[in-house]
Amino acid sequence: MREITANPQSAGLPYEEVYFETSDRKRLNGWFIAHDKSKSTLIFCHGNAGNISHRLEKISIFYNLGLNIFIFDYRGYGKSQGAPSESGLYEDAKAAYDYLTKERRVSKEGIILYGESIGGIVAIDLARNKNVEALITEEAFTSIKDMSRIAYPFLPYFIFSSRFDALSKIKNVGCPKLIIHSIDDEIVPFRLGEKLFDAAGPPKKFLKLRGGHNTAFLESEEQFKEGIKSFLSELKLP
């Protein structure tokens, strides 16, 4: 989770390395990738495996869709201080949002939240607590209770004292939502993606992919890109 193996420059993307603090004084690391033709910014909440340097292919897709991207490492990941916990991950996402809106003065109306796997629950929690334009989750699960019955070997150590109850949280998210899930996901079953979608209130859309938990966005790349592009086109972005 710690070693940074690459940066956006290696993918041909402009970027700024940034540091910001959480409410409990943890120093977090992230990248801001600015698109010269966009006023909309995607906050990228990554999954448990790896760190921000392992998301360059997906960052490139979002950049080519015309978005600024702010991706950060949670406490205990990459160059960020501390040790991960459920409450800590939620605080880290809030700190990322506050950094964007207060220090960089990014418009709240142009913020899109994206979360993959466990990052989907982090993004859902942030969406119910902050003003954002939209929420996108990919391969997110519903709760630890549901996952512990299925994927015990894949769960990170800190998760066993956690709930990560996305089902109850997403009911309180009012912004437009896009739930993405692969029918071939070998870690988070497709039925949990459907269950999460069913629990969400309108407006909402569902995008079904093919491919593995960590690779569906590449195995179904055109469908992934077109699905997100279509969803974004329906938003009132600045």
Per the annotation, the verdict on 54 as an active-site residue is no
pLDDT of residue 159: 56
168 labelled catalytic: no
pLDDT interval class at 184 (50, 70, 90): very high
Q: Regarding predicted confidence, which is higher, 214 or 150?
A: 214
> Are the beta carbons of 106 and 97 closer than 8 angstroms?
no
- Residue 78: pLDDT above 60? yes
The CATH number of 8-233 is 3.40.50.1820
Residues 66-81 have a mean pLDDT of 98
The residue that leads in pLDDT, 159 or 227, is: 227
The fraction of the chain above a pLDDT of 90, given in percent, is: 87
pLDDT computed for residue 2 by the predictor: 78
State yes or no: is 213 an active-site residue.
Answer: yes
Per-residue pLDDT, 1: 66
Question: How high is the pLDDT of residue 31?
Answer: 99
Categorize the per-residue pLDDT at 97 as very low, low, confident or very high, splitting at 50, 70 and 90: very high
For the stretch 111-170, pLDDT in tens is: 999 999 999 999 999 999 999 999 999 999 999 888 876 655 555 555 555 688 999 999
Q: Which of 54, 162, 213, 220 is catalytic?
A: 213
Res 100 pLDDT > 70: yes
Q: Provide the pLDDT for residue 156.
A: 57
- What pLDDT shows up at residue 130? 98
Determine which one of 35, 125, 185, 220 is catalytic: 185
Distance CA 191, CA 146 (A): 11
Mean of all residue pLDDT scores within the chain: 94
Question: What's the pLDDT score for residue 149?
Answer: 67
Give residue limits of the domains in the chain: 8-233
The pLDDT of residue 104 is 96
Who has greater pLDDT, 157 or 70? 70
Q: What pLDDT sits at residue 146?
A: 83
Given 40, 117, 182, 220, which residue is catalytic?
A: 117
Q: Does residue 26 contact residue 76 with C-beta atoms inside 8 Å?
A: no
